[in-house]
Amino acid sequence: MDTHGRYGTRGTVLRLLAVAGTAALTLTVGLVTPLNPAPQRAEAKDGKQVLTVAVAQSVDSLSPFLAARLVSTSIHRLMYEYLTNYDPKDNHPVPGLATKWESSADKLTWTYTIRDNSEWSDGRQATAEDAAWTFNTMMTDQGAATANGSFVANFEKVTAPSPTELVIELKKPQATMAALDVPIVPKHIWEKVDDFTKFGNDKSFPVVGNGPFILTDYQADSYVRLKPNKSFWRGAPKFDELVFKYYKDGDAAVAALQKGEVSFVSGLTPAQAAALKTQEHVTVNDAPGRRFYALATNPGARAKNGKKFGDGHESLLNQKVRRALFMAVDRETVVDKVFQGYAKEGDGYIPPRFSSYFWKPADGQKISYDPAGAARLLDEAGYKKNGDGKRVGKDGEPITYRVLCHATDPPDKAVGKYLQEWWGKLGIGVSLDCRDNVSDPWLAGEYDLAFDGWSVNPDPDFVFSIHTCAALPATPKDVGATDNFICDKKYDALYDQQLAEYDAAERAEIVKRMESRLYDTGYMNVMAYPNAVEAYRTDQIASITKMPEAAGNIYGQDGYWSWWSATPAAAGGSSDDSNQTGVVIGIVAGVVVLAGLGAFFAMRRRATAEDRE
- pLDDT tens per residue, range 65-78: 999 888 899 999 99
pLDDT band at residue 9 using 50, 70 and 90 as cut-offs: very low
Greatest mean pLDDT among 12-16, 382-386, 577-581 lies in: 382-386
The CATH topology of domain 50-288+533-568 is: D-Maltodextrin-Binding Protein; domain 2 (3.40.190)
Start and end residues for every CATH 3.40.190.10 domain found in the chain: 50-288+533-568
Q: Say which range, 92-101, 472-481, 483-492, has the weakest mean pLDDT.
A: 472-481
Per-residue model confidence (pLDDT) at position 483: 93
pLDDT band at residue 468 using 50, 70 and 90 as cut-offs: very high
- Rounded CA gap, 175 and 504, in Å? 9
Summarize pLDDT for 284-317 with one digit per residue, the tens.
999 999 999 999 999 999 999 999 999 999 999 9
Closest CA to 594 of 179, 105, 91: 105
Per-residue model confidence (pLDDT) at position 114: 98
pLDDT band at residue 53 using 50, 70 and 90 as cut-offs: confident
Per-residue model confidence (pLDDT) at position 21: 35
- Rounded CA gap, 205 and 121, in Å? 11
Is the confidence at residue 105, as pLDDT, over 70? Answer: yes
Q: Say which range, 2-16, 90-104, 280-294, has the weakest mean pLDDT.
A: 2-16
Is the confidence at residue 185, as pLDDT, over 80? Answer: yes
Higher pLDDT: 18 or 539? It is: 539
Largest CA distance in the chain: 76
Pairing of strands 400-406, 532-537: unpaired
Angle at 351 between CA 348 and CA 354, to 5 degrees: 120
pLDDT band at residue 54 using 50, 70 and 90 as cut-offs: confident
Per-residue model confidence (pLDDT) at position 267: 85
Kind and range of the H or E element at 316? none
Is the confidence at residue 404, as pLDDT, over 50? Answer: yes
- The terminus-to-terminus CA distance of the chain in angstroms comes to 7
Start and end residues for every CATH 3.10.105.10 domain found in the chain: 293-530
Per-residue model confidence (pLDDT) at position 51: 86
Greatest mean pLDDT among 7-16, 21-30, 267-276 lies in: 267-276
Query: In this structure, are residues 486 and 14 in contact, taking their beta carbons and an 8 Å threshold?
Result: no
Is the confidence at residue 28, as pLDDT, over 90? Answer: no
Per-residue model confidence (pLDDT) at position 590: 38
Average pLDDT over residues 416-436: 97
Is the confidence at residue 30, as pLDDT, over 60? Answer: no
Domain 293-530 has CATH 3.40.50.2000: no
Closest CA to 572 of 539, 546, 549, 545: 539
Is the confidence at residue 6, as pLDDT, over 80? Answer: no
Is the confidence at residue 496, as pLDDT, over 60? Answer: yes
Q: Can you tell me whether residue 75 is helix, strand or coil? A: helix
Average pLDDT over the chain, rounded to an integer: 86
Using only the alpha carbons of the chain, give its radius of gyration. Answer: 23
DSSP readout, 97-129?
SEEEEEE-TTS-EEEEEEPSS-B-TTSPBP-HH
Per-residue model confidence (pLDDT) at position 172: 96
Residue 38 has what DSSP assignment?
Answer: P
Is the confidence at residue 612, as pLDDT, over 80? Answer: no
Q: What is the percent of the chain with per-residue pLDDT over 90, rounded to a whole number? A: 71
Query: In this structure, are residues 537 and 570 in contact, taking their beta carbons and an 8 Å threshold?
Result: no
pLDDT band at residue 439 using 50, 70 and 90 as cut-offs: confident
Q: Can you tell me whether residue 294 is helix, strand or coil? A: strand
